[in-house]
Amino acid sequence: MKRMFSSLLATLALCLAGLANAAIDPALLQPLAGDDPDARVDAVTRIAATGRPDARTVLQALLDDELAATPDGQVLILRGDQALDPATGKTVPVPEGIDGIVVNNRLRGAAQAALSGLALLAPEPERRLAAAQALQGKVPDAAQAPLLRQALRRETDPDIRAILVQLVAGADLESSDPARRRAAVAALADSGTPALRPQLQAMLAKNPDGSHIEGDAALRGAAEATLRAIDRRSARNDIIANLFYGVSLGSVLLLAALGLAITFGLMGIINMAHGELLMIGAYTTYVVQSLFRHYLPGALDWYLVAALPAGFGVAFMVGVLLERSVIRWLYGRPLETLLATWGISLVLMQAVRTVFGAQNVEVANPAWMSGGVTVLGSLVLPYNRIAIIAFAVLVVAVVWLVLNRTRLGLFVRAVMQNRRMADCVGVPTGRIDMLTFGLGSGIAGLGGVALSQLGNVGPDLGQSYIVDSFMVVVLGGVGQLAGTVIGALGLGELNKFLEPVAGAVMAKICILAVIIIFIQRRPQGLFALKGRSVE
């Protein structure tokens, strides 16, 4: 009843404001100075519903604790030693005995919600779109209906209009007018979001004596149909979201594992320090970002362009250094390599901790990577994930080209298939080993640059990827680029589709169990090498 009353009043106030067109009615402002918390929240909603620029000023002042009241209930905005009377729009001297209006969290929340609603009337389309999208996620409120309607009347952009139509319908579900409710249910049938489910379900609920709360049978039927449509759509969206995030996780795993596919897959080196090469790539990104921030703040958005070659270069150098100093003495002794590289990983981790501190460092997405594209109404695909999928595709393509279309790739494959014969025909196997290991490490560095855009960058970054990376390579089959790609994507998809069913940790455990069982069946991986190169 109260809500009905308030929405009625709000409509009334809207008309009045339209007529008077001067300033905010003092009657609206007065409750703000009072003690009744409900009345204060109502007042905020009603002020917002006027949809006027002054309303914005008042609400913002409320949030900034600039609103004050005289003892007789006049509300003023304090600006230094001046005071603005929102009721007249004039500046007046600060009266005696003025007292700041106390804003509690509830009032603050109401004011913020009202302000975001007001942004629907902003002149810039981007801000209107953002405001409309923000409202989409919230439970609609009938009191907002007048404001939304006003926004819809003014709106010219078709995308924003579509969202607004939906928002108005959502708010109208609560309306006291049955005709309006019916129109709202019908309007929602082909665009409703899951956020509206509770309201639609409330329409179908029954009283304790078994009679329906909603008297209108046709309306109930329509609500049921709309519910079904919403469920169908959200199920479809879930599948698409899972597919997308699966591909995204797969591309991350791929970037993490691709370097390993070269060092482990092609050279047979168990490089436990691989994760730390990823970490080095990520920290290089951080350093490049800091350098840009310091010397080239104007080009900060493009620091990644410099971070990519830097990440590759640094990791390449570290890789070559490792190969020359430690790993080349251990060829043919895989278990010892494993131990030595684990030692290297400890040293690298501790070195990073000493230089950069044990805390995570902050790597920010460039502006063009933040945000996302909205598809199918409510599904947001973040730009940084899309960029990383594209980057993974690019890296795989380059690696394939290098391995299959260059002289270096030819030598790498020759040494892998028959080291002695390659040596005999003049391939400098020692140098090829060094370059191959460097290439694998450099790709890990590239992976690190990409990972820095998605998650935390800290000394432990590599540790969280090393087990996964080995799983990808083992699953895909050693020495097979295609296997690594399929393995990474398969693991990513499996993970994302198991997660909603089993929870994140159980999904991971299930996947490890699946891999362990899979390797029992096919010890050589998905794409086993056939013929002489086996063993």
Partner 1 sequence: MNHLYSRRGWSVLAACTFVAALLPLLHLALPAGHPLHVSGYAMGLVGKFMCYALAALALDLVWGYTGILSLGHGLFFALGAYAHGMYLMRAIGRDGSYGSVLPDFMVFLDWKGYPWYWAFTDHFWYCMLLVVLVPGLIAFVFGWFAFRSRIKGVYFSIITQALTYACMLLFFRNDTGFGGNNGFTDFKRILDFPITAPGTRTALYLATLALLVGALLLCRWIVRSKLGRVLQGVRDAESRLMFIGYDPLAFKLFVWTLSAVLCAIAGALYVPQVGIINPSEMSPANSIEMVVWVAIGGRGTLAGPIIGAFAVNGLKSWFTAAFPDLWLFALGLLFILVTLFMRKGILGTLPLLARLRPAARAGAKVEVKEEAA
* Of 213, 355, 390, 516, the one binding partner 1 by CB under 8 A: 516
* Of 212, 324, 413, 508, the one binding partner 1 by CB under 8 A: 508
* 500 forms part of the interface with partner 1 (CB under 8 A): no
Smallest gap from Cβ 225 to partner 1, in A, equals: 39
Smallest gap from Cβ 278 to partner 1, in A, equals: 16
Concatenated DSSP letters for 396-431?
A: HHHHHHHHHHSHHHHHHHHHHH-HHHHHHTT--HHH
Smallest gap from Cβ 419 to partner 1, in A, equals: 18
Q: Which stretch binds partner 1 (CB under 8 A): 10-18, 41-49, 138-146, 502-510?
A: 502-510
Query: What length does the chain have?
Result: 535
Smallest gap from Cβ 55 to partner 1, in A, equals: 47
3-class SS string, 328-361? HHHCCCHHHHHHHHHHHHHHHHHHHHHHHCCCCE
Q: Which stretch binds partner 1 (CB under 8 A): 208-216, 252-260, 287-295, 350-358?
A: 350-358
3-class SS string, 384-400? HHHHHHHHHHHHHHHHH
* Of 15, 239, 300, 347, the one binding partner 1 by CB under 8 A: 347
By beta-carbon proximity to partner 1, the closer residue of 126 and 336 is: 336
Which of 479, 447, 492 is closest to 255 using CA atoms? 447
Residue 208, token pair as written in the block: 């304790």
Q: What is the dihedral of CA 495, 497, 500, 502, to 10 degrees?
A: -60
* 344 forms part of the interface with partner 1 (CB under 8 A): yes
* 355 forms part of the interface with partner 1 (CB under 8 A): no
d(CA 531, CA 511): 30
Smallest gap from Cβ 521 to partner 1, in A, equals: 7
- Count Cβ atoms below 10 Å from residue 9 Cβ, excluding itself: 18
Smallest gap from Cβ 332 to partner 1, in A, equals: 12
By beta-carbon proximity to partner 1, the closer residue of 73 and 357 is: 357
* 520 forms part of the interface with partner 1 (CB under 8 A): yes
By beta-carbon proximity to partner 1, the closer residue of 121 and 349 is: 349
Q: Which of residues 255-274 bind partner 1 (CB under 8 A)?
A: 270, 272
* Of 291, 321, 338, 414, the one binding partner 1 by CB under 8 A: 338
Q: Which stretch binds partner 1 (CB under 8 A): 34-42, 142-150, 334-342, 391-399?
A: 334-342
By beta-carbon proximity to partner 1, the closer residue of 110 and 352 is: 352
Residue recorded with tokens 């089993």: 502
By beta-carbon proximity to partner 1, the closer residue of 339 and 398 is: 339
* 394 forms part of the interface with partner 1 (CB under 8 A): no
Q: Which long-range contacts (CB under 8 A, 24 or more apart) does 304-310 make?
A: 304/366, 304/449, 304/453, 307/449, 308/446, 308/449, 310/284, 310/285
Which residues are CB-neighbours of 360 under 8 A, at least 6 positions away? Answer: 456, 457, 458
Q: Which of residues 272-301 bind partner 1 (CB under 8 A)?
A: 272
Which of 388, 356, 367 is closest to 279 using CA atoms? 356
* 329 forms part of the interface with partner 1 (CB under 8 A): yes
d(CA 19, CA 13): 10
By beta-carbon proximity to partner 1, the closer residue of 349 and 434 is: 349
By beta-carbon proximity to partner 1, the closer residue of 299 and 513 is: 513
Smallest gap from Cβ 515 to partner 1, in A, equals: 7
DSSP E strands, 233-329: none
Radius of gyration of the chain (CA): 31
By beta-carbon proximity to partner 1, the closer residue of 182 and 353 is: 353
Decide: 385 and 241 in contact? Cβ < 8 Å.
Answer: no
Which residues are CB-neighbours of 433 under 8 A, at least 6 positions away? Answer: 267, 323, 328, 331, 415
* Of 326, 381, 528, 529, the one binding partner 1 by CB under 8 A: 326
Smallest gap from Cβ 428 to partner 1, in A, equals: 24
d(CA 67, CA 86): 10
Q: Phi first, then psi: what are they for 322, rounded to 5°?
A: -60, -45
Smallest gap from Cβ 263 to partner 1, in A, equals: 13
Residue 501, token pair as written in the block: 């069913």
Residues in the interface with partner 1 (CB under 8 A) total 41
* 312 forms part of the interface with partner 1 (CB under 8 A): no
By beta-carbon proximity to partner 1, the closer residue of 261 and 304 is: 261
* 359 forms part of the interface with partner 1 (CB under 8 A): no
* 346 forms part of the interface with partner 1 (CB under 8 A): yes
Q: Which stretch binds partner 1 (CB under 8 A): 73-81, 296-304, 331-339, 446-454?
A: 331-339
Which residues are CB-neighbours of 88 under 8 A, at least 6 positions away? Answer: 22, 23
Which residue ranges make up the site for partner 1 (CB under 8 A)? 270, 272, 326, 329-330, 334-340, 342-347, 349-351, 353-354, 463, 467, 470-471, 474, 505-506, 508-509, 512-513, 515-517, 519-521, 523
